[in-house]
Structure 1
Amino acid sequence: MGLRKVWLTVIGTLGAVGLTGVLALTFTPPSQRLARWLAGGDWSSMDGAARTAAVGQVRLAVVQVVAAIGAGVALTYTARSYRLSRRGQVTDRFTKALERLGSSEPYVRIGGILALEQIVQDAPDQGSHAARVLNAFVCRHTESAGAPASLSSVQLPERPDEAVQEALRALTVPGARGGGAARAQVDLAKLHLAKVRLPQADLRNAVLSGATFSDAVLTGARLEGADLTGADLMRADLSDARGLTVEQVLSARRLRGCVLPDAIRSDTQVAQRVRGNE
């Protein structure tokens, strides 16, 4: 804030000095010399009234130019101030959303997730940052798909809790993770996500290796480049999934009862594994 005040002082001082100089040039003898130079050879043939009018026109033109420049500077400064103010508001909203995500109350966490989603809609350039936060939230609040042998008695949840489900939905909504090189990658490797519901999800280039998606709903999901190595897709619904290849499907660990697009299901190896001939 101190630096901003310094810049304001500098800009104000320079503006005042410049305005004083222009006005001095305009309303002193130099304006007459400028009018004579602009009139060229016609100056000598002009009478007193014509010369006075010419000088007046020069002064008016200078004032108009100065006014236009001043308006441009003011507009530029206003736009810059607006951008800084808006950025500060987004940062403040982002911080409050993070505080909600850390709450022990499920409904407060869901409110934080919805707040992040709204921030991305209002400020798309924050998409990759929000995606990384949501991905970390999912990983922290989801059981591992492969419990160690010593923990084999651990009861895995039947389905993700409501906050995790909502975070996954917000994370995989088309266009929610930014674009281009800044696009955040979804990493759900080795997570237990049985019965998750993500229709029309954007899972392009997602890391889903070793994850459990048994009985999951992924209808119409985009899966171009997604890593399904070792994933459990038993009875998962991938009907109308886009960008899915036979190689991706065959890399999965389990496919029994999986619903797949016709072009994928017609493959002999895939059909055998879907029927339970692992």
Structure 2
Amino acid sequence: MTKTTDPKPNWWVVAGLAVLALAGGTCALWRLPWLLDDHWLKHMDTSQARATTVSGLRTALVALGAGLVAVVGLFYTHQTWQQTRSRDSDQRQLTWEGQVTDRFSKAVEQIASDKPVEQLGGIYALERIMRDSAKDHATIVEVLAAFVREHAPAQYEPRTHGLLSPARQRWQAAAVRVALMLGGHPQPYVHLRPTEPVQAALRVLGRRPQDRDEPFELNLGVTNLGWANLVGAYLQEADLALTHLEGAFLIKADLEGAYLGRAHLEGAHLIQTVLKGADLKGAYLEGALLVEADLTGAHLEKAHLKGAQLAGAELQGADLREAQDLTVEQLVSARPAPSTKLPAHLAEDPRVMARIAAVMEEEQ
């Protein structure tokens, strides 16, 4: 922060003016009565009249001079007060920024710990700093996103060191769902779920202030966030490419403009989720719940939609021309529009055409 110095008055000049004012005032007190009332004073015989005139005029001049001095004093008092207040404000700002820096350093040390409790403390401390200091918002978002990428990377096959195949991921996600349905513990697949610190970081990122400037996209790509709780999360234009979100709870989340290319969303809960303009090319949406989701203008080229539920989903302008396993039943349950881009055999289906007409009639 650049500290500005307030201009200081030239006290020598002020002192000189004060001396001149004093001399002039003395002269005026002595001579002004005669200059103003010389005619009357010379022709009046009563000494009492002379004394009264001189005394009254001098009293008025003294009062006027005192008033002028008071005004000058108030002016310089105000100037001094402003300078003092400015210096105090600058000092408070420097002190506050120093405190924020100390808090930030301590929070980063906590999340770097290998103890989950300390990591949680650091994550929530960063959230507090982010809300208190708009200037540090972008940095904290970057730190928390990096924490998620480091602690929840996409899973790798131990033999091939490659990403788990879609078939393997779908099988594991299905196993978890079955275990939960039966009321059991999803072992040995519980490791698919985020740890508490990772879930906390996601929670903080999902509810971060939305009126701040972020000169970058939130990068959570190639991470393992299966079964994460992202209900109502703010993830506009986030990078979630190749991210594993099997079974994730994205109900009412804001994913407008997000990049979800080849993301794994098998069995994900996308109910009333905003996916306007989202890039879902090649995404795996088998069994996903897209009920009443807003897919306006979304790109679903080569997306896998087998078993996906699209009831009430808005499809205006959505590109489904190369979507895999898309059925008439899915489209009839959704809300397609004339602008929805469909494969030829589905666009010409009488039931689909009738559904489009019904949707248009409802909106009129």
TM-score tier (shorter)? 0.7 to 0.9
CA deviation digits over 1:2-57, x for unaligned, max 9? x99xx9xx97xx85x745653x2464223565999xxxx99964933322222222
Out of 276, 281, 287, the residue aligned to residue 245 of structure 1 is: 276
Shift of 1:272: 8.0
Paired positions, count: 260
> Does residue 1:187 correspond to 2:222, yes or no?
no
Instruction: State TM-score, norm by structure 1.
Output: 0.79
Q: Does 1:197 align with 2:229?
A: yes
Q: Give matches, 1:20-39, under 5 Å.
A: 21-22=13-14, 24-25=15-16, 27-30=18-21, 33=24
Matched, 1:97 2:128: no
Helix, strand or coil at the partner of 1:248? coil
Output the CA distance in 2 between the equivalents of 1:42 and 1:83.
58
Aligned 8 A contact 1:246 1:264 in 2: no
Which segment is superposed worse, 117-126 or 87-96?
A: 117-126
The separation in 2 between residues aligned to 1:87 and 1:135, in whole angstroms, is 24
**Could you say which residue in structure 2 is the equivalent of 1:60?**
70
Residues in 2 aligned to 1:109 and 1:43: alpha-carbon distance in whole angstroms: 89
Cα displacement string for residues 145-180 of structure 1 (whole angstroms, at most 9, x for unaligned residues): 46586136999832111111111111221416x623
Q: In the TM superposition, what is the alpha-carbon distance from 1:101 to its structure 2 partner?
A: 0.9
Distance 1:256 1:56, change over 3 A: same
Structure 1 unaligned runs (5+)?
A: none
Hey, what does 2:240 align to over in structure 1? 208
1:168 is matched with which residue?
202
> Greater helix share, 1 or 2?
1
**Cα deviation code 1:55-89 (max 9, x no counterpart):** 22211111110001111111111111111111110
Distance 2:136 2:60 in 1: 62
Contact 1:256 1:275 in 2 (8 A): yes
Q: CA RMSD in A?
A: 3.8
- Residue 194 of structure 1 aligns to a residue in which SS? coil
Query: Closer, same or farther in 2 for the Cα pair 1:162/1:61, shift >3 Å?
Result: same
Q: Which moved more, 1:72-81 or 1:140-149?
A: 140-149
TM-score by length of 2: 0.62
* Residue 256 (structure 1) aligned to one of 286, 291, 296: 286
Bigger relative contact order (CA 8 A; separation at least 6)? 1
In structure 1, the partner of 2:264 is: 232
Paired residue secondary structure (2:106): helix
Distance 1:273 1:188, change over 3 A: same
Distance, in Å, in 1 between the alignment partners of 2:304 and 2:295 is: 9
Structure 2 residue runs of 5 or longer lacking an equivalent are: 38-56, 165-187, 309-324, 327-364
> What's the CA shift string for 1:224-246, capped at 9, x where partnerless?
1100111111000111112x137
* Equivalent in 251, 255, 270 of residue 223 of structure 1: 255
- Deviation of residue 121 (structure 1)? 1.9
Q: What are the within-5 Å matches in structure 2 for residues 149-168 of structure 1? A: 150-151=160-161, 157-168=191-202
